[in-house]
Amino acid sequence: MGTLNKIFVVSFITFISRILGLVRDMMITAELGTDYIHSAYISAFTLPNLFRRLLGEGALTSALVPVFSDEVHVSGLQPAFKLLNKVITWLTLMLVTLVALGMLLMYHLSKIEGFESRWYYVFSFSMMLLPYMIFVCLTAVFSAALNVMGRYFLPAMSAAWLNLSMIAVLGLFCTSASSRLNVVYWLIAGVIVGGVIQLSVPIGQLYAIGWRPRISIYISPPFYRILKLFMPGLIGASIMQINIAVSRLLAFNISDSAVSILYLANRLVELPLGMFVIAITTVIFPDLSQFASKGDDSKLADAFGRGVNLILTIVMPATVGLLVLRHEILMILFEWGNFGQRDVLQVVPVLGVLALAMPFYALSTFFTRGFHSLKNTKTPVWISLVNFAVNIFATLVLMGPFGVVGIAYANLLSVVIQTILLYIFLVKMNEAFRLTGFLYPSFVIFSASCFMGLVVFGCIAYSEGMFGQGKLYSLVSVLIGIFFGIISYFMMLRILGMDKFSGKVWAFLVKKFRNW
């Protein structure tokens, strides 16, 4: 399967999962609105997500993939499965210990008098959600092993199982719940069930391939190499996740609705990032690791440049489209039930700022994987420290005069600085990562995206003239805007001289849709 085919498969499955995630969030916001119960639920989910990034799909999988890939290609499947069992054994021991200690801590914090009621709910919800991190962290490791062996379909479905479980619970039980608090309790039950399903699926596929679970605590040389890569990555991922947690805590102190506003804006930004950027990174990262391991700088440079090209070709127009259509998209998706027009207007400016950060989030994610392919996890740690310091300082300065929008500005500033530093130090490590001759393609992509933005803006004006304000106007604006936006974007790419690359991507997409 070629690179574009792999990216298409992962992107399509992730697209389905993200759509399910949006449906889930639409249902949750319709039930909970933006009050403190919703913000407390989101804040409580921060803890298992933090450890998911630390011990699951972030630092650990980045350390596992290069070493596991070497074992598969050099020693064969069975030695690689032995290594996987060692990782799973130690990870399970660590997770069970952390969950037990975390639940005990949250229980005692919830019993302390003097906290505002919203903090009581954060501690209470966190205690109930913590077991989910065992399932999601183990799922991420099993999925990374499957990716190395060229299996992308079921691992990419991981988030879909969680979303389907939560949607089922919302549809079956939450609409008849007597209070918003009971809605959250049912949601937490849906999360735990979804986690069990998430873990069961990749285990089943690995078992079919030949893996058998074994308890193994012996620290072999390959396992030690994973530890050496993991520890600096753990520190870097910790900084990043603490950054997110602190931002949410600060937002929680601004108002009851600030956390949910920030969350919903982030969710829409994560949609294109999750659909395409994660897919591109997932598919190209094993190639980067393989070429870096072999010392093939020519193929390494080609794979890296292809990845950056694909990312910008997709993320830049998505950024412009989200900026232009953000109000209409929010009305369509979230203005239901307890989430009204006033809530939409609060999210609009935050979404506008975070949309500008999308290309930098995408590139920083990909650049970090460039370091990991070179088995260097230390440099991104230091850069994460800079990112953390800039973000917290800027948040403290800007949240006073600008409120939750100030937090979004702080996130934008910090990720811009992080992306620049990552690229500078990546090129210093290996010249193969230098994006030579990339200025003109970037200018073309930017220009085509701006032209597309004008076309989409014209579609909005036309729809308003035909249908006035309201949901029908918003729906027509988005549908017409996306349709003519995509056409105008690829046409402008070709006019401005990106025929070879844009034509290849366009022909590939057209072929896939015709096959359907």
- Average confidence (pLDDT) per 10 residues, the chain, 516 residues: 61 77 86 81 82 69 80 81 89 91 89 72 90 90 83 78 90 72 88 92 89 84 82 69 75 76 84 73 76 79 83 90 89 79 86 92 88 81 87 90 90 93 91 80 87 90 67 79 88 74 50 44
Instruction: Give yes or no: residues 223 and 255 share one domain.
Output: yes
What is the pLDDT at residue 101?
93
Residue 444 CA, chain-centre distance (Å), reads 27
Instruction: Give yes or no: residues 360 and 504 share one domain.
Output: no
Using the structure block, give the residue that is written with the tokens 């549908």: 479
CB count in 10 Å sphere of residue 52: 19
Instruction: Give yes or no: residues 209 and 108 share one domain.
Output: yes
Instruction: Give yes or no: residues 442 and 431 share one domain.
Output: no
Instruction: Give yes or no: residues 465 and 394 share one domain.
Output: no
| C-alpha to C-alpha distance for 55 and 218, rounded to whole angstroms | 20
Final residue in a domain of this structure, among 436, 460, 478: 436
| C-alpha to C-alpha distance for 293 and 303, rounded to whole angstroms | 14
What is the pLDDT at residue 135?
92
Both tokens of 244, joined, read 């997110």
Instruction: Give yes or no: residues 12 and 72 share one domain.
Output: yes
Instruction: Give yes or no: residues 294 and 381 share one domain.
Output: yes
Instruction: Give yes or no: residues 401 and 449 share one domain.
Output: no
Q: Which residues of 486-495 are buried (b: 16+ CB within 10 A; e: fewer)?
A: bebbbbbbbe
What is the pLDDT at residue 509?
46
Q: What are the residues whose beta carbons fall under 8 Å from the beta carbon of 354, sequence distance 6 or more?
A: 265, 266, 269, 408, 411, 412
Instruction: Say which amino acid occupies 335.
Output: E
Instruction: Give yes or no: residues 372 and 511 share one domain.
Output: no
Output DSSP code: residue 56.
Answer: T
Final residue in a domain of this structure, among 411, 436, 461: 436
Instruction: Give yes or no: residues 277 and 422 share one domain.
Output: yes
Host domain of residue 505 = 437-516
What is the pLDDT at residue 80?
85
Instruction: Give yes or no: residues 304 and 336 share one domain.
Output: yes
Domain count, the chain: 2
**Coil, helix or strand at residue 220:** coil
Instruction: Give yes or no: residues 445 and 303 share one domain.
Output: no
* pTM for the full predicted model: 0.72
- Spatial CA neighbour of 222 closest among 232, 230, 234: 230
| C-alpha to C-alpha distance for 514 and 33, rounded to whole angstroms | 41
